[in-house]
Chains A and B, each alone.
Chain A
């Protein structure tokens, strides 16, 4: 399992990257591995609001569906539509396969760095 050092992590297994004022969000290697082969992802739309702690998306594998929790409160400015046709990219490279980008972020969860996240995972 791999956890890039330049990213931040949430307790609900999302990774977060800041590019100026834009926040990019995806799911971690641990998350994609637990889900198994992803067959579909439900993504919100550009302009939708997201709220920290609330689900903004869900991911389907053959046997399960999991919510993806937003680690921030803000407005979506871009959605990775490529994932709608090729959800397997999330399994193949979870850190490339970002889900959404958010702007006007006014609140966020407490984030962990890569080291803290690995420690947190060991306790799972």
Chain B
């Protein structure tokens, strides 16, 4: 597996630029002494290098990708095509306003639709990712209390099942974290909440359905308790795919929310970005949104207007599926998850009872105790069947957790095939646990030594002197 640098041959080049048509005239300023050791590779070798790399990547187009909490739904080709129109890609962000009416229309329309979907009144599309949207939301809450002159509100309440970005974002905004417990049904322990709410509460961060894929039926009581104590309620929109078109965070008592366009709204994950994490709020908070023309605003959270081309893709998706499609998407996502859950129930019981929403969490603790096969081992075995594993070891409240989210864009045949494969792996685990523990065997590399990576910290190629 050679690096592109290994394919370098001195003086090889691709002719991109014509000869300079003016006299060479360089600034009178210190120049670099050591040239950058960039590759010198011809186009054919660049092309082959990346083709080789692409064959060692599993994308949504490669096979089933039931990665819980990530909503790996199909990325429509139409979005890619329209986001590459010159009328979008070649627009400089600082062009005169009258020449960017189309871009502003894209932004306004998406804001409008996202507000309608979430029951919020205003939206900022600046945040570039979910965590970025969370930070923005936390800063809105901070600004709100600061403006009220209430300096005592330093605490944000977060359930123990929350995604790590929740407390991290709140701390970045200068808050302290109060963790509250989940009850035996996987929902928020109301008594624990009541004990921890008070004058210091700035707000609560919640996702609903929660990270177990369960809709917290006490949600109205929860948001009411927080409001009564003088706090605000923040909705983490990571799981919106379960309820969009059927329920809105704005109706559940949430004041601020963020969305993940790269999850719920089908924009491609790109191997880890770019995504987009719009942040929305009710009217009483709108003056705080990132918008440099308003003096109460928290200020910008990014250089320009947000990940514009990602915004184009999300808008394309929404106008394609339309109002009826929004609801169709969520209900089919929930159907697919419940179908898989029901079919797997006898071998992989869900961590909590009852109907799940768009994802469900199973525990492999029993299998581990009987055979030594862990959630990690099970996941690695799936790799040999060309299935991307579910999310492992999250939420932390379940031991040996696997979080499965099929999404609505998978067909029944794909689900049935995956169910059969999971059963096969399970049975193999009972008969021949070593086979599972030795997997994967058919992937380009086997299990990777993460300890070695962290200790040695080789983070770049080193060139020979």
Using a CB–CB cutoff of 8 Å, the interface residues on chain A facing chain B are 37, 39-40, 60-62, 87-88
| Contact segment of B34-42, B339-347, B450-458 | B450-458
Closest Cβ of chain A: how far from B392's Cβ, in Å?
11
Residue contact A88 to B454, C-beta cutoff 8 Å: no
Q: What chain A residues lie within 8 Å of B450 (beta carbons)?
A: 62
A-B contact count (CB 8 A): 14
A39 to B452, CA, bound (A): 8
How many residues in B have their beta carbons less than 8 Å from beta carbons of A? 4
Closest Cβ of chain B: how far from A40's Cβ, in Å?
7
Q: What chain B residues lie within 8 Å of A40 (beta carbons)?
A: 454-455
Closest Cβ of chain A: how far from B162's Cβ, in Å?
17
Q: What chain A residues lie within 8 Å of B451 (beta carbons)?
A: 37, 39, 61-62
Known: A62-B450, A62-B454, A88-B455. 9 other contacts (CB 8 A): A37-B451, A37-B455, A39-B451, A39-B455, A40-B454, A40-B455, A60-B454, A61-B451, A87-B455
Q: What chain A residues lie within 8 Å of B454 (beta carbons)?
A: 39-40, 60, 62
Residue of B with least CB distance to A37: B451
Q: Render B426-465 as a binary contact track against A, CB cut-off 8 A, 1 for contact.
A: 0000000000000000000000001100110000000000
Closest Cβ of chain A: how far from B440's Cβ, in Å?
19
Q: What chain B residues lie within 8 Å of A88 (beta carbons)?
A: 455
Residue of B with least CB distance to A39: B454
Closest Cβ of chain A: how far from B394's Cβ, in Å?
12
Residue of A with least CB distance to B456: A39
A88 to B455, CA, bound (A): 8
A-B contact pairs, 12 of them (CB 8 A): A37-B451, A37-B455, A39-B454, A39-B455, A40-B454, A40-B455, A60-B454, A61-B451, A62-B451, A62-B454, A87-B455, A88-B455
Closest Cβ of chain B: how far from A35's Cβ, in Å?
11
Residue of B with least CB distance to A91: B451
Residue of A with least CB distance to B455: A39
A39 to B454, CA, bound (A): 6
Q: What chain A residues lie within 8 Å of B455 (beta carbons)?
A: 37, 39-40, 87-88
